[in-house]
């Protein structure tokens, strides 16, 4: 692998006095779709929050594109090119699809490229073109997830962080959203994908890390992990 775009080394994270992530190291290569999976409360979202600067590491290092993120503020990290698709999509239900998508272009650099990025986003999500004047709240959960991804892409990011995009979706829509994520990855954008839905993530990702109670317990190429006895037993119900 060439130099990874994101390299996390030995990070400890927590809230108040409570440590919840212990010495985690992981990396994402320039064209990789990497899964970070694990059960409820295992610390997945906490790791994403540390990358996007919402919480500060207690120890260890987070390096993105050659820069140490630990000391930077969320808006500085966004300006470096990390876009975070938050859990629960967080759209404005009473605004149109296009208004929601456009909100992603909030940084001056992105505002200048708004039209260009919008065209790119619609070519990636053609289903949204006919819906662009509809209220976001009227869309299906799967389409809302596409809007949330589209909004993040309006930043023109160098990397995407996604938190549980399949949450609350019916199985058929989960598959659809996973295909969409894979197609975004195919454009060359590196993605760190956090999910409880281990099976779906292992199907679309290149590599994955398994987190348990704040510690990494397994990592490797996704096809290998899918056949791993521990993954089969603990996460795939086999
Ligand atoms: N704001 C917070 N303040 C205090 N503790 C928190 C906070 N957010 C998360 N935690 C705790 O940190 C631990 C890890 O939580 P985190 O949200 O990172 O897990 P997760 O893997 O994303 O879980 P889920 O799959 O349920 O989203 C949990 O024990 C949780 O209770
Ligand atoms: Mg979470």
Q: Which ligand is nearest to the CA of 49?
A: 1
Long-range interactions of 198-203: CB distance < 8 A, separation 24+: 198/37, 198/231, 198/235, 198/236, 199/226, 199/235, 199/236, 200/166, 200/174, 200/175, 201/35, 201/37, 202/35, 202/37, 202/226, 202/231, 203/178
In what order do the strands lie in the sheet containing 215-221?
82-85, 159-163, 191-195, 33-38, 207-212, 215-221
Q: Does the Cβ of 38 fall within 6 Å of ligand 1?
A: yes
Q: Does the Cβ of 196 fall within 6 Å of ligand 1?
A: yes
Residue 1 confidence (pLDDT): 54
Q: Which residues on neighbouring strands pair with residue 14, listed in sequence order?
A: 19
Q: Does the Cβ of 20 fall within 6 Å of ligand 1?
A: yes
Residue 162 reports pLDDT greater than 70: yes
Within 8 A by CB and 6+ apart from 98, the residues are 118, 132, 133
Residue 194 reports pLDDT greater than 80: yes
Q: How far is the CA of 24 from the centre of ligand 1 (A)?
A: 15
Residue whose Cα lies nearest atom 24 of ligand 1: it is 40
Mean pLDDT, range 88-99, rounded to an integer: 90
Residue 14 reports pLDDT greater than 90: yes
Domains of the chain: 1-81+158-238 (3.40.50.300), 90-157 (no CATH)
Residue whose Cα lies nearest atom 3 of ligand 1: it is 15
Tokens 């994270």 belong to residue: 13
Tokens 């956090």 belong to residue: 194
21 in Cβ contact with 179 (< 8 Å): no
114-159 pLDDT tens trace: 999 999 999 999 999 999 999 999 998 889 999 999 999 999 999 9
Alpha helices in 63-192 (DSSP H): 74-80, 97-102, 108-112, 114-124, 141-153, 171-186
Residue 144 confidence (pLDDT): 92
Q: Does the Cβ of 42 fall within 6 Å of ligand 1?
A: yes
């Amino acid at each position: 692998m060439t130099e990874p775009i994101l390299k996390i080394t030995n990070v400890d994270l927590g809230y108040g006095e409570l440590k919840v992530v212990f010495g985690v190291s992981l990396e994402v290569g320039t064209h990789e779709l990497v899964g970070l999976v694990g059960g409820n409360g295992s610390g997945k979202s906490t790791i994403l929050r540390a990358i996007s600067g919402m919480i500060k590491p207690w120890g260890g290092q987070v390096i993105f594109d050659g820069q140490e993120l630990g000391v930077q503020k969320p808006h500085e990290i966004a300006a470096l090119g990390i876009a975070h698709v938050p859990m629960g999509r967080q759209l404005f239900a009473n605004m149109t699809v296009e208004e929601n998508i456009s909100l992603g272009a909030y940084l001056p650099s992105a505002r200048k490229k708004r039209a260009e990025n919008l065209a790119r986003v619609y070519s990636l999500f053609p289903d949204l073109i006919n819906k662009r004047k509809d209220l976001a709240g009227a869309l299906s959960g799967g389409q809302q997830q596409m809007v949330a991804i589209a909004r993040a892409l309006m930043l023109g990011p160098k990397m995407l962080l996604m938190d549980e995009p399949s949450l609350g979706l019916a199985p058929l829509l989960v598959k659809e959203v996973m295909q969409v994520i894979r197609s975004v990855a195919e454009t060359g954008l590196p993605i760190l994908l956090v999910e409880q839905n281990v099976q779906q993530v292992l199907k679309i990702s290149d590599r994955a890390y398994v987190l348990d109670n704040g510690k990494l317990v397994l990592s490797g190429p996704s096809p290998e992990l899918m056949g791993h006895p521990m993954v089969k037993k603990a996460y795939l119900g086999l």
